[in-house]
């Protein structure tokens, strides 16, 4: 960063005073203006040129241009270098300016949003960029939060408000925030104008889930936490209005702190080309020195004989000085080994590849009218070399949509569809849905396919009715009826919304609630239950219960939760049903569904009264209140009767398991980095088949101390390496355990997975543990990091990028993924429901995760293949073209005389050979897209950088040097023995030049024809058209007419006509072409016949099947068979049960006035506890986080399935 941007003042704490702008200005806090662009109108030219001249070739051509401006050493015109150089700089600059223009446009759109700010006694509309720290702003429903603000008051009771944080964490479920009690009544402008509180808090940071501060007001101080803050990027929902005080603005908001810096990304081929240009420059120097020494020797021994009629210039008075000048002359002549047109062509190719991505209809998502977009044009070939993919979960792998899929009620499973023969039928889009027309309040978007469940409801089966009654009562969902029958549920999590919606469609409609009651619409009649207590969910209990009084006066407890927890609390009478239900749960879990057990209990009036008195007493205890409440809850939840189980599908995006399986076959490692809880992340891992029961081990790291994390990492690594070494070598001493671990990374056959929590990851990323963590992670087939912060995501990517040297790709959909996307070599944004922050920061974007498969295996592999072939051919043809001058130097007295006509030198790379190589670089395919997807192993050469590397460069240059040698000496030998038809000899240099030039154009055209595997009309036009254009220009430039007009510029008058009219000359050209091409053709034939690559085999197979037409890829979805239950409850946060029973989240008009004193007391304690615990992250117990036992079954990998 430049010195003028450095801020010597490090903020240790922030002091903000409301309605005191002069006071706040003293601290020079950032304003609310944001900037994600790289340039402005003043910095664009210097900064962009600086970035462009980081390419060694650009600097190299500037030096050549300077040399060409010196007449005494230049034998070529200066315009042959400056025109292409300026063209390259302008094209690249325009592209960079266009990209940055859209960033400016996006910034301007955000900065110009309107917000209502309290100024001079009234609310005024201000642009977001004019909002400053300390301002009090008003937000209205569905508005974005302009800055990080402290919530002061809202339209809801008790200062509550609801927000959606999709832009921050990708989650679309609502979250609750509450203002301090002392500020919650500041609901009108005069009171807010008088508010002069001062906040002292933490300095700006990137921790989205933490905030620490204190409000000082009226000689009192009040503790502030994240529960009181609304962060920039959130959206206000279901709240008419709220007021807040700006604490952090602009680039200092937590959202922007997590965005990371925009980096200048370059591909590995760009970096390699920089190295190769240095090599070529060194080679050029060597050739210049050899020819300069030759000139000195020649001038000393031979040249002095010609001084009589070719005297030296005044300053040119020695052979050594002549050699010095010759050195620079040859540097200019031979500079075409790296022509500037190479970089123009590379930019054109990248632009073309980007358009192919944008135009690909198979990556277009019609439901949202979203096409794939290459937002940068510089990274396309890097897409063909990816080894690590870092993916977010919510919104990227999943749709964040929960669907009630199946259930088990009283031992009967529902949800599957059977045909008339009793065979299970796969459910597709064409499968007929259940008709819910009998229920006028049903949700039309709900789909279920088993008619048996509807029939059971219509028959008024008591068990089925009790099942759905539980789902309609036992939850913390808030209903909103916008019009008669138009119900909208606001759920704490999508899981709860799915369950309540299912009950609604099957005739048990949750209609309304108050702190005291829950009203259902049961099969067309209203039924109101008195809500006596909510025993809320947390991560230790893994269940929630409600106690209600039925209209008949009976007291009932309804409970739902993890099956292992519920089964331990069942009455003995449910034992047989438990075994049946357990079998159903195993089937549901085997399909990757998130399961949940349901139970109920009838309570005696006397027992309930005694228990409630205990509850009221424990609710007032100060010490160990939560533990005592848990014991009391557990007491009443014993001896329950099992009702059944539910199975919810956490709906993956279409094609996710198949895409992951295909990418795994391509040897791409996929790491999931998510902010979700450990169990939720593992559930999705199983659903995606990233985790499977036939894996040898799933290591779960979830400790909180550095020492414990170190022990777990070491133990897991020792386990993998010891098993691998013992299986291959027998028993080995433990002291040799970690020697040469990298050798074993490629040789591990067993499959392992690593799941690590955010707390443990923080320690694992410490310098003393990062190598151990990375080694273990790379030994595992699957890595899942859960509960990670946005900055931790970037740190994980940076760790792999720094130490593995592999190409990394990060894919996400929310603002919490931006830093990860910017850190990776390639950033991909999913344009979904969670906003556009990730897309705006990405290099590529599309609508569905499954398109990543086509982006990498088709477009990425093709781009890499085409670029490598293009570079190899380009260096070959230019060495063949340029080094003829080197051989000619030994026969022209090392005088820096060019072999070719100057116009041929100028036009060779621009006209004669530019279009054929561009056509090959744009359209060539080794195999088609179907086979690229069908055989993912074709992707591996790119990862190993096999198609273009230093070795391949050496072979290309050797081929070019050999061709240049033959191009010179075959015509040279022929001219020495050949005569014209009239008996005269070919002795003129111009005829020799035309022969070599024609042979060169013919040879490189034939060679590109042999190198092209996929011919299009464009390829034919450019290859044969370039040959025709060459001869047309050759005869035109050597015609009498041009010589008469420009005698000094076109000296080769009539040479082409005289030379090419001789049959023997065409024989020489043919002989030269055959001698240059055939050896390479023989080598290629022998290699393909004796040592065929996978690409050769697939291409041969493709050609043999060409008559059968294209075949669609058929990667079958692999269903997981598992005994592992994935309970939905694990995905929950601390519940909102106490908030509901307190009535604080409801409008005043809906709160019952008949609340008893005892009830009010109990409610106040619940709300107090909830507010303390609502956003705390409960840690998994060691038993829950334990890894599943190793499977003893024989493992059949996806590759084996694919091969078979």
Write out the catalytic residue numbers: 392
Structure tokens at 635: 């007491």
Helix H or strand E encompassing 648? strand 641-652
179 near 149, Cβ under 8 Å? Answer: no
The answer to whether 696 and 751 have CB atoms below 8 angstroms apart is yes
SS3 21: helix
DSSP 924: -
Count of beta carbons in the 10 Å neighbourhood of residue 135: 25
Q: What is the dihedral of CA 176, 181, 184, 185, to 10 degrees?
A: 150
- In this structure, what are the phi and psi dihedrals at residue 12, rounded to the nearest 5 degrees? -100, -30
Contact call for residues 1201 and 661 (beta carbons, < 8 A): no
For the chain, give percent helix, strand, coil, nearest 5. Answer: 50, 15, 35
Alpha helices in 334-450 (DSSP H): 341-359
Can you give 294-306 as a three-state secondary structure string? HHHHHHHHCHHHH
User: Which segments within 1105-1179 are labelled E, that is strand?
Assistant: 1126-1127
Which two structure tokens, joined as six digits, stand for 137? 């702003």
User: Which residues partner with 603 through β-bridges?
Assistant: 555
Question: Of 291, 194, 185, which is closest to residue 243 (Cα–Cα)?
Answer: 185
8 Å CB contact between 501 and 489: yes
* HSE-CB for 297 with a 13 A CA cutoff: 8
CA dist 147 and 131 (Å) reads 8
The residues that bridge with 425 in the sheet, in sequence order, are: 417
Residue corresponding to tokens 């569904």: 593
3-state secondary structure (DSSP) of residue 766? coil
Residue 452's contacts (CB-CB under 8 Å, 6 or more residues apart) are 414
H/E run at residue 247: strand 241-248
- CA gap 1176, 1135 in Å, rounded: 11
Structure tokens at 1149: 């008009």
Crossing angle, helix 861-889 and helix 319-333, to 10 degrees? 150
Beta-bridge mates of residue 826: 809
Which neighbouring-strand residues pair with 245? 136, 150
Residue 1040 CB-density burial (10 A; 0-12 exposed, 13-18 middle, 19+ buried) = exposed
The residue count of the chain comes to: 1204
How far is residue 825's CA from residue 265's CA, in Å, rounded to a whole number? 7
3-state secondary structure of 204: coil
Residue 718: other Cβ atoms inside 10 A: 14
């Amino acid at each position: 960063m430049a010195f003028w941007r450095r801020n010597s003042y490090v903020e240790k704490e922030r002091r903000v005073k409301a309605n005191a702008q002069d006071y706040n200005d003293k601290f020079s806090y950032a304003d609310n203006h944001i900037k994600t662009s790289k340039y402005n109108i003043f910095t664009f030219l210097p900064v962009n040129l600086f970035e462009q001249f980081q390419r060694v070739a650009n600097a190299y051509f500037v030096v050549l241009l300077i040399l060409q401006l010196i007449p005494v050493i230049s034998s070529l015109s200066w315009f042959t270098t400056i025109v292409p150089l300026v063209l390259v700089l302008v094209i690249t600059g325009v592209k960079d300016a266009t990209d940055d223009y859209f960033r400016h446009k996006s910034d301007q759109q955000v900065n110009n949003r309107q917000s209502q700010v309290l100024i001079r006694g009234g609310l005024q509309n201000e642009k977001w960029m004019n909002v400053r720290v300390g301002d009090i702003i008003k937000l209205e429903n569905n508005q974005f939060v302009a800055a990080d603000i402290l919530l002061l008051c809202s339209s809801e009771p008790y200062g509550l408000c609801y927000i959606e944080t999709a832009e921050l964490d990708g989650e679309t479920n609502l979250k609750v925030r509450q203002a301090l009690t002392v500020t919650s009544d500041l609901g009108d402008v005069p009171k807010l104008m008088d508010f002069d509180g001062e906040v002292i808090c933490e300095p700006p940071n990137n921790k989205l889930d933490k905030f620490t501060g204190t409000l000082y007001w009226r000689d009192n101080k009040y503790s502030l936490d994240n529960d009181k803050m609304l962060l920039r990027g959130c959206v206000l929902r279901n709240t008419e209005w709220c007021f807040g005080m700006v604490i952090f603005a602009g680039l200092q908001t937590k959202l922007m702190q997590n965005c990371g810096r925009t980096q200048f990304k370059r591909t590995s081929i760009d970096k390699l080309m920089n190295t190769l240009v240095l090599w070529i420059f060194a080679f050029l120097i060597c050739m210049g020195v050899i020819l300069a020494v030759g000139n000195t020797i020649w001038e000393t021994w031979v040249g002095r004989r010609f001084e009589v009629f070719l005297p030296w210039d005044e300053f040119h008075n020695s052979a050594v000085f002549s050699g010095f000048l010759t050195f620079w002359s040859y540097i200019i002549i031979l500079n075409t080994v790296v022509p500037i047109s190479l970089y123009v062509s590379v930019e054109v190719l990248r632009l073309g590849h980007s358009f192919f991505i944008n135009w690909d209809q198979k990556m277009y998502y019609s439901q949202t009218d979203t096409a794939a977009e290459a937002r940068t044009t510089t990274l396309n070939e890097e897409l063909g070399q990816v080894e690590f993919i870092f993916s977010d979960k919510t919104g990227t792998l999943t749709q964040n949509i929960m669907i009630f899929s199946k259930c088990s009620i009283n031992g009967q499973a529902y949800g599957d569809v059977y045909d008339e023969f009793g065979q299970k039928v796969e459910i597709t889009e064409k499968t007929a849905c259940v008709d819910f027309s009998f229920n006028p309040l049903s949700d039309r978007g709900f789909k279920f396919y088993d008619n048996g469940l509807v029939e059971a409801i219509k028959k008024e089966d008591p068990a089925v009715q009790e099942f759905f009654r539980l789902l309609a009562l036992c939850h913390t969902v808030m209903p909103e009826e916008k019009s008669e029958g138009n119900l909208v549920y606001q759920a704490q999590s999508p899981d709860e919304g799915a369950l309540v919606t299912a009950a609604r469609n099957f005739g048990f409609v949750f209609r309304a609630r108050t702190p005291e009651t829950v009203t259902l619409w049961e099969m067309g009649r209203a039924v109101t239950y008195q809500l006596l207590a909510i025993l809320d969910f947390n991560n230790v209990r893994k269940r929630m219960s409600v106690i209600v009084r039925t209209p008949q006066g009976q007291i009932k407890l309804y409970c739902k939760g993890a099956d292992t927890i519920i089964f331990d609390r069942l009455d003995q009478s449910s034992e047989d049903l438990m075994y049946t239900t357990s079998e159903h749960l195993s089937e549901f879990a085997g399909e990757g569904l998130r399961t949940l057990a349901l139970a109920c209990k009838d309570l005696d009036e006397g027992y309930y009264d005694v228990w409630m008195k205990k509850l009221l007493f424990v609710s007032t205890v100060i010490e160990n209140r939560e533990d005592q409440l848990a014991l009391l809850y557990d007491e009443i939840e014993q001896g329950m009767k099992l009702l059944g189980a539910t199975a919810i599908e956490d709906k993956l995006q279409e094609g996710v398991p198949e895409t992951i399986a295909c990418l795994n076959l391509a040897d791409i490692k996929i790491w999931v980095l998510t902010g979700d809880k450990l169990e939720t992340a593992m559930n999705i891992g199983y659903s995606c088949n990233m985790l499977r029961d036939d894996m040898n081990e799933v290591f779960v790291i979830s400790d909180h101390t550095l020492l414990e994390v170190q022990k777990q990492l070491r133990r897991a690594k020792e386990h993998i390496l010891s098993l691998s070494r013992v299986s291959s070598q027998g028993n080995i001493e433990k002291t040799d355990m970690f020697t040469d671990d990298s050798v074993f990374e490629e040789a591990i056959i067993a499959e392992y997975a690593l799941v690590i929590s955010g707390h443990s990851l923080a320690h694992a990323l410490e310098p003393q543990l990062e190598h151990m963590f990375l080694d273990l992670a790379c030994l595992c087939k699957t890595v899942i990091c859960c509960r990670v912060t946005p900055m931790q995501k970037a740190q994980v990517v940076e760790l792999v990028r720094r130490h593995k040297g592999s190409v990394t790709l990060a894919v996400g959909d929310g603002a919490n993924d931006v830093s990860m996307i910017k850190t990776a070599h390639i950033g991909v944004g999913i344009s979904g429901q969670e906003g556009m922050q990730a897309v705006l920061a990405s290099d590529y974007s599309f609508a569905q995760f499954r398109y990543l498969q086509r982006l990498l295996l088709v477009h990425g592999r093709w781009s890499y293949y085409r670029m490598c072939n293009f570079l190899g051919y380009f260096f070959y043809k230019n060495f063949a073209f340029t080094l003829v001058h080197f051989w000619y130097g030994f026969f022209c007295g090392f005088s820096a005389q060019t072999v070719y006509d100057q116009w041929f030198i100028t036009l060779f790379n621009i006209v004669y050979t530019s279009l054929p190589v561009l056509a090959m670089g744009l359209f060539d395919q080794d195999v088609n897209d179907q086979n690229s997807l069908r055989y993912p192993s074709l992707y591996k050469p790119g990862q190993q950088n096999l198609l273009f590397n230093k070795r391949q460069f050496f072979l290309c240059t050797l081929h070019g040097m050999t061709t240049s040698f033959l191009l010179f000496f075959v015509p040279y030998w022929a001219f020495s023995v050949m005569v014209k038809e009239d008996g005269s000899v070919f002795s003129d240099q111009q005829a020799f030049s035309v022969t070599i030039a024609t042979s060169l154009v013919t040879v490189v055209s034939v060679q590109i024809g042999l190198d092209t595997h996929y011919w299009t009309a464009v390829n034919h036009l450019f290859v044969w058209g370039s040959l025709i254009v060459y001869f047309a220009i050759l005869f035109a430039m050597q015609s009498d007419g041009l010589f008469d007009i420009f005698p000094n510029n076109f000296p080769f008058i009539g040479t082409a006509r005289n030379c090419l009219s001789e049959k023997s000359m065409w024989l020489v050209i043919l002989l030269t072409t055959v001698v240059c091409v055939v050896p390479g053709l023989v080598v290629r034939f022998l290699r393909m016949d004796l040592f065929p690559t996978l690409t050769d085999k697939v291409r041969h197979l493709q050609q043999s099947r060409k008559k059968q037409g294209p075949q669609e890829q058929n990667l079958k979805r692999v269903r997981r068979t598992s005994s592992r239950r994935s309970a939905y409850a694990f995905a929950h946060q601390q519940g909102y049960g106490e908030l509901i029973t307190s009535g604080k989240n409801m409008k005043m008009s809906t709160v019952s006035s008949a609340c008893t004193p005892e009830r009010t007391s109990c409610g106040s304690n619940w709300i107090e506890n909830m507010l303390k615990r609502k956003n705390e992250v409960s840690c998994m117990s060691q038993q829950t986080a334990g890894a599943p036992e190793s499977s003893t079954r024989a493992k059949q990998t996806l590759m084996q399935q694919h091969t078979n």
